[in-house]
């Protein structure tokens, strides 16, 4: 099976950009949920910043292991946007 340059570039872009969007959404939603649960903002931010490194590594590795590139983009970009939207709605409800 030959792999095109576009396929490789798209995987690299998905791992970096999609992973960033997913981790951003995960972090913002986690902080919002932590605040809703009564955690101090600094504690929630520190906890999620530590978890973000692990989540990004998992996303990065999964991007190259997954058989379908469309699913990778859908999960990383779509999931990140969905989590960011949920965090935004939760933050508005808390204020």
- Tell me the domain boundaries of the chain: 15-94
Q: What pTM was estimated for this model as a whole?
A: 0.91
Looking from the CA of 45 toward its CB, the CA atoms found within 13 Å total 3
pLDDT tens track for 63-93: 999 999 999 999 999 999 999 999 999 999 9
pLDDT (tens digit per residue) in 20-63:
999 999 999 999 999 999 999 999 999 999 999 999 999 999 99
CB 89 within 8 A of CB 27: no
């Amino acid at each position: 099976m030959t792999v095109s340059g576009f396929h490789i570039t798209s995987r690299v872009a998905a791992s970096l950009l999609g992973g960033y969007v997913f981790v951003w959404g995960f972090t913002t939603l986690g902080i919002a949920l932590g605040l809703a649960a009564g955690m101090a903002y600094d504690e929630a931010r520190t906890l999620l910043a530590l978890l973000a490194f692990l989540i990004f590594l998992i996303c990065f590795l999964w991007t190259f292991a997954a058989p379908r590139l469309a699913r990778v983009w859908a999960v990383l970009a779509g999931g990140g946007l969905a989590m960011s939207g949920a965090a935004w709605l939760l933050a508005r409800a808390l204020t």
